[in-house]
Amino acid sequence: MKQFFFMLLLLGVVFAGCNDDVTPPIPVIKEFELTVLDKADVPISKAVVNIFMSHKPDVLVMSKNTDIFGKVHFLNLKPGNYIFTAMMGETEILKTDMVVDDDNALNVATMKADNYEMTVADYTVIVKSDRGAAISGRKVDLLTKEEQVVYKSGLTDEKGEILFTKIPLDDYLIKVYDETNEVAVQTEAVSVVEDVAKNISNVEIVKLIHHSDIVITGFLVDPNGSDSPKPGTVSGGGFAHKGGYEYVQLLALKDINFDETPYCVITGMNATNPADKTYPAALDGWVESKGQNTKTTYQIDINSGSIKKGQFFYVGGASYMIASYYNDWGSPMIEKDRWWAYDFYNKRGSNDNGAVKGSSGIFNNLNSDKKTNVPDGIAVFKGVNIDKNTVPQDVVFYGGESPIRKEDRYLITDNDLYRTVNSKGEPQPYFGDGTNTWFAKQGHNDDGCYIMMGGEVTTTEWLKPRVGKLYKLNVKDGPESVSVSDIEAAEGVTVFVDK
C-alpha cells in the first residue's frame, strides 16, 4: 500500500512539472531619480552618472548625463544594491552605495560632491523700451540653448533688471515676454562666462508709447460720388445733399467734455503730384493756411459736447453719413451726438486756418492717373490755438504712388507710426524726416475709399500698430448694404484695450 501511494505522489510531481500553464515570475523593474550637487549645493550639470552592480563592481549597468538641474532619471532597474559614481571628464567626483527599492516613491536621492565645485557666474538682463525707459514687471526666461529648457525665470524690477545667480558657464537663450507676460517677443542667444562684467544683456523692447487723448482710427478720403457737394443741391439721381461726405473717425481714450477742454482736427492737403502748385508748400506746417486764402490746411474745432472713453466719434461734413450716397438713396448715419459736423463747402476753417473748401473737400483724391497723390495728413490737437510749433497729439498720413514733398513741414508726434527722435538720439520732428515716412495707401478711386487704420491701443500705448487697410465703403448695392458696425465692430477696426 505504501508503495502505491508513493507512486501516485511521484506521478503528480511529474505531471506538475510538465504543465505548460505554469508561468515563471516576471522580474520587477523600478525607476530611480538622482540629483547631483556640488559642495555649495549648486546642481552639477553634464556629469556622467554610472551605475554598477554591488556584487560585481566591474559590471556597468547603466550610464546617463545629468541635466541643467543636476538631475538624471534611470529606468528599468531591478530592486537591489548598486554602486553609483559621478564623473566630470576623467575625474570621479563622488561614489556611493545606493539601494533601489520596490517602492518607486523611495527611489529618489541626492548625491553631494563635497570635494567638487561647479564654475558658475551671475547673469544680468536689463529690459528697456526703445526710448530708454526701464520696463518693470516683465517676465524673462533663461533657457538651455539646445534643449530650450527653462532653467530660471523671473520678473524685472523697477530698474528693468533681473539677476540670475549661480548659472553654470554655458550657452543659453534669453526670452523676454510681452506686456501680458504670456507671449515671448524677444529671443537672444547669450553665453555665461567667468567674467561677470561680460554677463549682461541689454534687451530693447519697442514700446509704441503715445501721449494722446484721442487717436485717428479711420477716414473716408474719397467717397463715391461728389465728395463735397453744396448743401441743398440735388444729385443727378435725385438725392438731396445736406452736406459733405468726407470725415475722420476718432477714438476717445478718456472721457472728454469739449466745452471745458476743446480739441481740433487739422487736415493738410499738399498736391496730387509733385509739380502741382494748387496747394502751397506747408512751410508753417499745420497752420500754413492760417490767415491766408489757401487750401493747404483746414482746421475743424471740437469745442462743444462730450464723448466717453472707448467711444468712436466723427468729425466731417454735415451729411452724418458713413458711405455717402448712390442714385436716390443715402447711407447709414451716425447719431448727431457722436458727429461734429462742419460746413467746409461754405466756411473758412476754424480760427481762420484754411480757405473755404467749396467742392474740393478736406481730403485730396488720387490724380487723374488714379495712382499718384503727394502724401497728405490728418492731425489731432489738444486746444484750438495752434501755431507752427504746436505738436499734435496724434497724426497719420495717406497718399498715392508719389514721394513725400520735403518742403512740407508737418510736425509729427511719438506714436505707433512716427518718432520725434531716431535710434541714435537725433531729432526728426517732421513728416519725411528720417524714419517718419509711413503713409497709408489710397485706392478705390471715386468708389468709397475708406482707410481703416486698425491696431490695438490702450490709454498710453499701441499694443499693435495701425496698418491703414483699404476698405471699399459705398451703397451701390442698396442703402442697407453697409452698416455702422462695418467701421466700428468689424475685423480690422481699431480695438481699445482699457487697462
- pLDDT digits over 441-477, tens only? 998 888 999 999 999 999 999 999 999 999 999 999 9
Contacting residues for 31 by C-beta, under 8 A, at least 6 apart: 73, 74, 75, 77, 104, 107
Q: Does residue 16 sit within a domain?
A: no
CB 49 within 8 A of CB 94: no
| pLDDT surpassing 70 at residue 4 | no
Q: Does residue 311 sit within a domain?
A: yes
pLDDT number for residue 381:
99
Q: Which of 113, 138, 153 is the last residue of a domain?
A: 113
Contacting residues for 167 by C-beta, under 8 A, at least 6 apart: 120, 121, 122, 123, 142, 151, 152, 192
Count of domains observed in the chain: 3
**Do 346 and 428 sit in the same domain of this protein?**
yes
Q: Which residue has the higher pLDDT, 132 or 363?
A: 363
**Do 199 and 211 sit in the same domain of this protein?**
no
Percent of the chain clearing pLDDT 90 (strictly above): 79
What burial letters (b/e) apply to 278-305, b meaning 16+ CB within 10 Å? Answer: ebbebebbbbbbbebebbbbbbbbbeee
Read off the pLDDT of residues 159-181 as tens digits, 9 standing for 90 and up: 999 999 999 999 999 999 988 89
Q: Which of 85, 113, 141 is the last residue of a domain?
A: 113
CATH for 159: 2.60.40.10
CA atoms of 180 and 362, how far apart (whole Å): 40
pLDDT number for residue 289:
96
**Do 212 and 324 sit in the same domain of this protein?**
yes
Q: Per the structure block, which three cell numbers stand in for 104? A: 518607486
pLDDT number for residue 1:
45
Q: Does residue 15 sit within a domain?
A: no
Backbone angles phi, psi at 8, to 5 degrees: -60, -45
Q: Domain residues for 109?
A: 30-113
CATH for 39: 2.60.40.1120
Which region among 14-23, 360-369, 394-403 has the lowest average model confidence (pLDDT)? 14-23
Q: Which of 71, 94, 113 is the last residue of a domain?
A: 113
CB 269 within 8 A of CB 362: yes
**Do 374 and 444 sit in the same domain of this protein?**
yes
Q: Does residue 6 sit within a domain?
A: no
Backbone angles phi, psi at 184, to 5 degrees: -70, 130
**Do 238 and 159 sit in the same domain of this protein?**
no
Read off the pLDDT of residues 306-355 as tens digits, 9 standing for 90 and up: 999 999 999 999 999 999 999 999 999 999 999 999 999 999 999 999 99
| pLDDT surpassing 50 at residue 356 | yes
| pLDDT surpassing 80 at residue 121 | yes
**Do 184 and 331 sit in the same domain of this protein?**
no
**Do 34 and 171 sit in the same domain of this protein?**
no
Q: Does residue 474 sit within a domain?
A: yes
**Do 234 and 352 sit in the same domain of this protein?**
yes
pLDDT number for residue 33:
96
Read off the pLDDT of residues 56-109 as tens digits, 9 standing for 90 and up: 999 999 999 999 999 999 988 999 999 999 999 999 999 999 999 999 899 999
Q: Does residue 217 sit within a domain?
A: yes
State the first-to-last Cα distance of the chain, in angstroms, to the nearest integer. 101
Q: Per the structure block, which three cell numbers stand in for 193? A: 562666462
**Do 223 and 160 sit in the same domain of this protein?**
no
pLDDT number for residue 26:
53
Percent of the chain clearing pLDDT 70 (strictly above): 93
**Do 98 and 135 sit in the same domain of this protein?**
no
The angle at the Cα of 146, spanning 141 to 152, to the nearest 5 degrees, equals: 25
Q: Does residue 87 sit within a domain?
A: yes
**Do 161 and 228 sit in the same domain of this protein?**
no
**Do 292 and 357 sit in the same domain of this protein?**
yes
Which region among 17-21, 94-98, 295-299 has the lowest average model confidence (pLDDT)? 17-21
The angle at the Cα of 397, spanning 394 to 399, to the nearest 5 degrees, equals: 170
Q: Does residue 347 sit within a domain?
A: yes
